[in-house]
Amino acid sequence: MTTHKNLLGGPDPTYLPENEEAYRLLGEESRPPVEVAAKHPTFSLAWAMLADDAFEAGRVVESYAYARTGYHRGLDSLRRAGWKGHGPIPWEHRANRGFLRCLAALARAAGEIDEKDETERCWQFLKDSSAEAYTELKR
């Protein structure tokens, strides 16, 4: 993957490593996200899918818990990938999407349980990390 030098002096984008086995389990084998999360607990996409499914079924607290788990596991992965707590997390990089989706799901569920500060913080974090993800996910 090519990265361009940031002429503004900010941090370089962070690209999480791919987990091909987890994608294969979700895609080719059509395994449910709960099984993939159990087998690959650091794979934020599975947690995001669980959060979305719970939210759509009206289980907001469950959605919040899934989103928070995926968010924290994603933060751990970002730090291992060199992220220093700020900077771009590009939406176009497939492996970053699970974390970004968890962040949006956390904001959405926090809003439903009246956690206003967390809702605003999460949406702003998403926007600061990836304007493209923010546009795509804040509907």
Q: What are the pLDDT digits (tens) for 68-96?
A: 999 999 999 999 999 999 999 999 999 99
Residue 40 lies in a domain: yes
The verdict on residue 90 lying in a domain is yes
Query: What tens digit of pLDDT does each residue of 43-67 get?
Result: 999 999 999 999 999 999 999 999 9
pLDDT score of 109 more than 80: yes
Kindly report the CATH number assigned to the domain that includes residue 121.
1.25.40
Distance between CA 131 and CA 73 in Å, rounded?
22
The answer to whether position 45 is within a domain reads yes
Q: Is residue 95 part of a domain?
A: yes
Q: How big is the CA angle at 87 (ends 82 and 91), to the nearest 5 degrees?
A: 95
Number of domains in the chain: 1
Residue at 93 is within a domain: yes
11, 18, 56, 115, 121 from 15: Cα distances, Å: 12, 9, 29, 30, 22
4 domain-assigned: no
* Residue-number span of the structural domain to which 94 is assigned: 33-137
- Establish if 42 belongs to a structural domain: yes
